[in-house]
Structure 1
């Protein structure tokens, strides 16, 4: 089943005018990567280009919990969900691990307004 996951990467290229373009590439075989999609126009910042690339990648994925799957594996999603459900932690254990760590609130107060990389969460 793991072989059905498509290996897709997002990267950003700077054009000659100083703009930034996102590129989606997919690994073909063991070492070669080929471009599968590119932004139609350049963004003004690296951050905006990367965010656009991530949005484009997410749009390609039917189920973000399992990632992009090859079209030759139509039942991969169902099989993956069944396997995940069999190994899922109990609701009580999940609730305990989802609680905020004790020092997280204090750390956040010490750095108010500090932007995170690409706007997608705290840098660790």
Structure 2
């Protein structure tokens, strides 16, 4: 059975760029756990915190293929196999 890719640590927060206007932002925690990077943000401001949060959650759901297991990291392709070193993989043939 294949191992599931790790769950991505994505957060939604709402900013207030101007009084009374709200915008959602998606951020993702990086491997070091102390650094967050912005994934996406609202193109337009909304008139309430509630609307902005709901729109941000919809954006998060759009990143998620299967809502039952959450957003998963894409698996890296397996490394290319190394060419054999010699017979049986032990190097050169003995005389």
TM-score, normalising length: structure 1: 0.55
SS at match of 1:55: helix
5+ long unaligned stretches in structure 2: 78-95
Moved runs in structure 1, 4+ residues, more than 4 A? Answer: none
Matches of 1:62 and 1:15, distance apart in 2: 31
Give the structure, 1 or 2, with the largest relative contact order (CA under 8 Å, sep 6 or more). Answer: 2
5+ long unaligned stretches in structure 1: 75-124
Bigger Rg, which one: 2
Deviation at 1:18, TM superposition (A): 2.7
Deviation at 1:72, TM superposition (A): 1.3
Deviation at 1:63, TM superposition (A): 0.2
RMSD: 1.8
| More strand by percentage | 2
TM-score, normalising length: structure 2: 0.71
Matching residue of 2:64: 61
